[in-house]
Amino acid sequence: MISFNMDEVIIILSEDEDPCCDTALNDSSVLFVEVKENVVQDRPLSAQALEEDLVVTFSKRAEVLPHARYDCPLYPFTRAEYVKSGPIDSNHQFCEQCFCYVCDKLASLCPLWCVNKECHCNSHQRSGTWSRLRNSADLGHLLAFDFSLSDVDSKLQLAERLLGSFRKELQVEFSCFVRGKMLSDNNSLRPHMNGLVHDYTPVYGCVTSFLNKAERQEGKVAAIMSLGAAKDFSSHYQPSGIVLSKCPKANAMEAIRILLQRVMVSVQRLMVMSDLPSDFIHKLQRFALCLNMPVTVGNTRNSLCVRPWDDVLLVSVLKGQNVTGIRKQRSKKDILAEPISVVLMRSELLQSQCRYRELCRYLCVVIQTDNSTLFKAMRDLVALFMCMEGDFSLALSEVSIAAPRFSPALFRLYLRIFETATAPRVHISPQTPFDLPGAEWGPIQGAVPLRRGELVKFALRVQRCCAAVNADAQCWSDLLTIVNNPRDSPSALPEPGPEFLNDAKTLSLEILTQGVGLWTSIQIPKSFIEVNPDHALLLLVTAALMLRILSGPLSPMLHVIQNFKDNPWVLQWLLQNLSLYDQDSNLIQSIQQELGIIGDQASPIPLEHHSPPRPSTSPVVWDHTYCSPVSVQTVCPKGAVPAMIVPT
């Protein structure tokens, strides 16, 4: 065995196996043995040392880690605010671990370390100028947004790279636009016109392409790209010269206005619909206020003054802690006022998150600033959102406000929700077609179908105060479909006795004619629906239909009376009572016209009238005397009259 004694390491070379050695050593021909440091044995301390609070008993030179040049432990550094003409003292010297403060790379790799009028060797963190230069080098185009290095992540780095490439392309296109093209006498468009033509269309296309790319990115990236592009093209101008095309894209000022409006709408939507931090939103808002916008844009920049979702006033309103929308801060008042575009977007997001109660609180408190008509239509949907929350009782109390402005489709939507306790899985807004073709419906959590009596009262109230619903035949048809097919009864109701039919007529007319025009006037007595509730509600709605027919034509009438096919005795009851007041048989004539029985093709449908009934002692002007059934005869081509029209 041969050994070499070195300063720090002993290398043992073994050529043959020594049986007396450990078997672990025989597996290797080279063994590195680390020399142990000479540790000084502890010596007794003096009495004076024992009285000290801190005594150093051992020290070892620290390992030098990577550091900025101004923190180097080997070479001293002289600080100055901003000197770039040349190195100060020994600032140009550096160790192997020194980094350039500006470039953020090893000092040995910095290309401007000792270059005249640059001299990165003098940079340090306490100089505002050197710090801004460092941020500019690291942040690039993000510096204008007031971001710090701690704010920059992979998303912002991507936005900065895309902005950089866009600016180079935009600069080339704008330079070509400013130079223009010479229009000679040989041109075919303007044969007698000479001069430079400046067409902004290629620049517009370049910006549009970049904005399309931005809208496909994630929220942060899209916002930075859009506003960064706006800063670049908003400074463009229209040179003096010829503009051949009348298209707005060809004129720089018109094109800039269109592009800026697009950017502001896009960024505004990102602020509301994306999960952007509030400090990020504030940075975007401050950046937008500094944009050089032309006068033709107006107050477009103010469209980004959007409250973040964690705003104190907005949160308190959504949670129901503030019902006024006003928050006092010392001598100032903070009022929850937002443009209609923001109101609609907040509504869309809250609906997608099924936060209907918070949406109702918001709509009842917020003040709109620019479109009162659309906002009023949005507020009219509060009752509908309460239905989707499952609170039908509160919805019925709120619906009275909007009922006079109901559309027929909205009324039918309410009917279906109340009757089935289900709701469409779609976003609802004033622009929504409420017939909702092909929409998916699902159960409302915690909701039960409205009781049939309450549903009829709601429908008759709306019919009374809303002319559009009262005049729509489909609304009457949907209501009759509900009362003709009760939940707990077979498809057909047995015909009640004459006494019940006569009493139902009397009570129905009393209910329907009291307090006409008032929303809360319809009250159904308990005695009326106590014995036969399904029959009573069916006859009450039929009596309302009779009053509607007497007030004017209702078309298509066939579609309405087809709902009586399972209960023909109700149609007979309707015709009997109409014959007492409608001497001209308007109902029958309407049916004939819809069937095409006009002119000399058929004789009119006669109604056998009985002697005038005796005056009633009831204060109601309607006659309450029961009359025997009348015979109805119909004649139509080829005898094609639906059987349900001819009561037997």
Q: List, for residues 129-142, the tens digit of each pLDDT value.
A: 888 888 777 777 88
Do 318 and 290 share a structural domain?
no
Do 318 and 300 share a structural domain?
no
Question: Which residue segment(s) compose the domain that 17 sits in?
Answer: 2-33
Do 313 and 412 share a structural domain?
yes
Mean pLDDT of each 10-residue bin along the chain, 648 residues long: 45 46 46 49 61 70 86 90 86 92 90 88 89 80 83 89 93 91 58 70 95 94 94 89 76 91 94 93 91 73 89 95 90 91 95 95 91 92 94 90 92 94 92 86 92 92 92 94 79 87 89 70 82 91 91 85 90 87 64 59 38 38 36 36 32
Kindly report each contact of residues 279-288 with a partner whose C-beta sits within 8 Å and lies 24 or more positions away, as own/partner.
280/220, 281/306, 281/308, 282/308, 283/145, 283/146, 283/147, 284/145, 284/223, 284/227, 286/146, 287/144, 287/145, 287/146, 287/227, 287/231, 288/227, 288/230, 288/264
Residue 457 lies in a domain: no
Do 339 and 419 share a structural domain?
yes
Task: Tell the residue number behind the tokens 């990020």, with chain if given.
Answer: 280
pLDDT of the residue at 194: 58
Residue 637 lies in a domain: yes
Residue 477 lies in a domain: no
Take residue 579 and report the two structure tokens written for it: 């014959």
What gap in Å lies between CA 450 and CA 456, rounded to an integer?
10
Do 158 and 19 share a structural domain?
no
pLDDT of the residue at 190: 52
pLDDT of the residue at 637: 38
Do 115 and 175 share a structural domain?
no
Residue 342 lies in a domain: yes
Among the three residues 90, 111, 126, which one is the final residue of a domain in this structure?
126
pLDDT of the residue at 438: 83
User: Is the entire prediction scored with pTM above 0.75?
Assistant: no
pLDDT digits (tens, 9 = 90+) for 240-268: 876 666 788 888 889 999 999 999 999 99
pLDDT of the residue at 13: 44
Do 280 and 165 share a structural domain?
yes
pLDDT of the residue at 511: 87
Do 212 and 191 share a structural domain?
yes
Take residue 324 and report the two structure tokens written for it: 């006024």
Q: Is the dihedral of CA 7, 9, 15, 18 positive or negative?
A: positive
Do 297 and 227 share a structural domain?
yes
pLDDT of the residue at 524: 84
Residue 158 lies in a domain: yes
pLDDT of the residue at 159: 92
Do 272 and 326 share a structural domain?
no
Domain count, the chain: 5
